[in-house]
Amino acid sequence: MASSSDGGTPSRRVDPAVAAGVEAAVKAAQAHAARAAARLKTQSHCWAALSTGDTRQILDAVRLLRPSAFDSVRSFIATASAADPRVHVRMHSLLDAEAEAVTSDARQFERVRDALEKLVTTRLYPTVFGLGEGDESAETEFEANLAIARDTLTHDRLGVSPVFCDGGAWTASSVMLHRISRHRAPADKLALIVNACRLIERRLHTLGVAEKKASIAERKRADATQRRQARELQIRQVREIQIRQGRELLKRDDLSSDSQRPADEAAVHSFKRLHVAEAIPKASLAPATNGASDHGAAASEEGGDMGSEDADEKAGSEALDVTIGADEFFPVLLWVVLHCTPARLCSELSFISRFRHPDKLRGVSGCYFTHVRAAVKFIEMTARVSEPETAWPSGAADSARSMQGDPRLPREEKDDDDEEEEGQLGPGRYASAAPAPAQPSTLRTTAGRWAEWLIGGVPAIADEPRAPSTRRDDDDGGLNNELRGQSSPRMPSVAHGHIGSMGGMELGRHDSLVEEEEVSAAQLLGFY
């Protein structure tokens, strides 16, 4: 026992060391496993992030998967200048290459490219916006053209329904268009344009349906009156016939004895009753007169009624199928652009067309974008054609007025306020483009961190509090407030009324797109 205990003691004495060694080994193994798991987790996290639509998450993932991407992006931003007319071409090919290096999946590729595009364009914005070839001259030219075109292109010449113009149906679209200048990334600007266009289309559709409904109701009413008149006529005719028959019978009655013509008894009786009932409204007379014939008439009439109603309903559902194509949409868009032109529209369009990826401008959003470009082009053309003949003074006066930042058209209060908005935004746009002034603190702090991150200081994938969610709320709130004109001082009460009439559903549905885009835009603004 002793020996065993002796033998045991040293072994026990050794034990702690062994145990320590083992423990250390186990710890090391565990740490290794944890690191491996963490790495694995991060990797899979990265890949998952690439599949989200969140710009920030994607950028975090890209940073981990391919740190060198940010070096090249940084050096590109440092060297880019507005003087280079092909700066956007270089940017797109760089981003294509970087995104391709990160992922081979076509979908992820697009997302990564878009995220990088958002990052770079947000950074480049002050350097290149409005400074492209001919941007400045185009802007002043457009201002002048606008004034001329406004005189020439009236809504009846364009074929825009006055209901649309005066009813403020375009207010929400104009708000969207004015918001373009608050965003830096071309993708966000484009999203706003698309939303504005869709709102116009939606509104046109609603108006079209309402108009059709009204005309159908009108037709139905007309039909009903016609039917009623026909029925009355029929009743009158039946009565006249009966009266005539009755008179004849009475004459015969006078000539011959009562007993000779018992069969006519009923007719005489009914005729007498008819005379008594003369004062009773005609319609109620009908059933009392001639049972058989009138019943038949009523039945046939009823049948006719049902038939026509069926047809009406059918025609109604078909007729309510209003299609709004470019034929209807474009003139209205033109009118909207003409009357609520956002600040520096030409520069905005040129910026988007250069810095949004060309592939994206070939899709549906590109189509709407092209409609807006076409509208601007048409305004230019109209001005060029009508310049010599329209009285110059009015054009000059108008352009002078718009230069001063005065309301361009005092047709509605809304317009004035839009101008105000424009004025507020215009000069300070470069300096402070934070979308909502209410939460500068959150934006600032994130700005710091993001700036550090871009320069390469802090590893940003660490669990930073998810600021986007709070900002999303704020931003969302801002948008909603703005659109409903409730708490934003910029929105006039008139617009509130108008937008209220827009119907919440359609607004809500289209806002979602912008909202998402805006969140990422706010994130990217943190780089300043």
**Does 363 participate in binding other proteins (rule CB under 8 A)?**
yes
Whose Cβ is closer to other proteins: residue 238's or residue 361's? 361
CB of 523 to other proteins, least distance (A): 27
Going from the C-alpha of 67 to that of each of 59, 63, 73, 446, 456, the distances in angstroms are 10, 5, 10, 21, 10
Whose Cβ is closer to other proteins: residue 143's or residue 474's? 143
Query: Are the CB atoms for 97 and 502 separated by under 8 Å?
Result: no
Q: Positive or negative, the Cα torsion across 344, 345, 349, 355?
A: positive
Residue 284 CB neighbour total at 10 angstroms: 9
Binder to other proteins among 163, 230, 364, 396 (CB under 8 A)?
Answer: 364
**Does 475 participate in binding other proteins (rule CB under 8 A)?**
no
Binder to other proteins among 123, 198, 344, 356 (CB under 8 A)?
Answer: 198
- HSE-up of residue 178 (Cα within 13 Å, Cβ side): 27
Task: Find the binding residues for other proteins in span 82-101 (CB under 8 A).
Answer: 86, 89, 92-93, 96, 100
Binder to other proteins among 368, 450, 453, 528 (CB under 8 A)?
Answer: 368
Whose Cβ is closer to other proteins: residue 350's or residue 488's? 350
Binder to other proteins among 134, 287, 307, 456 (CB under 8 A)?
Answer: 134
What stretches of 103-167 show up as alpha helix (H) in DSSP? 106-128, 135-152, 155-158, 162-166
How far apart, in whole angstroms, are the C-alpha atoms of residue 161 and residue 324? 14
Q: Which stretch binds other proteins (CB under 8 A): 137-145, 162-170, 442-450, 520-528?
A: 137-145
Task: Find the binding residues for other proteins in span 12-71 (CB under 8 A).
Answer: none
Binder to other proteins among 45, 155, 205, 449 (CB under 8 A)?
Answer: 205
The site string for other proteins over 140-169 (x = CB under 8 A, - otherwise) reads: -xx----------------x----------
How far apart, in whole angstroms, are the C-alpha atoms of residue 343 and residue 425? 9
Going from the C-alpha of 125 to that of each of 114, 122, 392, the distances in angstroms are 16, 5, 37
CB of 392 to other proteins, least distance (A): 21
**Does 504 participate in binding other proteins (rule CB under 8 A)?**
no
Q: Which stretch binds other proteins (CB under 8 A): 28-36, 41-49, 131-139, 268-276?
A: 131-139
Q: Which stretch binds other proteins (CB under 8 A): 1-9, 32-40, 132-140, 467-475?
A: 132-140
Whose Cβ is closer to other proteins: residue 347's or residue 488's? 347
Query: Are the CB atoms for 519 and 471 separated by under 8 Å?
Result: yes
**Does 254 participate in binding other proteins (rule CB under 8 A)?**
no
Task: Find the binding residues for other proteins in span 300-359 (CB under 8 A).
Answer: 321, 323-327, 329-331, 346, 349-350, 353-354, 357-359
How far apart, in whole angstroms, are the C-alpha atoms of residue 419 and residue 400? 15
Whose Cβ is closer to other proteins: residue 382's or residue 523's? 382
How far apart, in whole angstroms, are the C-alpha atoms of residue 277 and residue 258? 24
Whose Cβ is closer to other proteins: residue 133's or residue 452's? 133
Task: Please return the burial class of 361, using the count of CB atoms within 10 Å of its CB with bins 0-12, 13-18 and 19+.
Answer: middle
DSSP label at residue 185: S
Whose Cβ is closer to other proteins: residue 180's or residue 274's? 180
Query: What tokens appear for 230 in the block?
Result: 């026909």
**Does 380 participate in binding other proteins (rule CB under 8 A)?**
yes
CB of 385 to other proteins, least distance (A): 10
**Does 460 participate in binding other proteins (rule CB under 8 A)?**
no
Q: What is the 3-state secondary structure (H, E, C) of 392-447?
A: HHHHHHHHHHHHCCCCCCCCCHHHHHHHHHHHHHHHHCCCCCCCCCCCHHHHHHHH
Going from the C-alpha of 239 to that of each of 195, 218, 223, 236, 252, the distances in angstroms are 65, 32, 24, 5, 20
Query: Are the CB atoms for 517 and 187 separated by under 8 Å?
Result: yes
Binder to other proteins among 374, 409, 451, 460 (CB under 8 A)?
Answer: 374
Q: Which residues bind other proteins (CB under 8 A)?
A: 86, 89, 92-93, 96, 100, 104-106, 109, 133-134, 138, 141-142, 159, 197-198, 201-202, 205, 321, 323-327, 329-331, 346, 349-350, 353-354, 357-359, 362-364, 367-368, 370-371, 373-378, 380-381
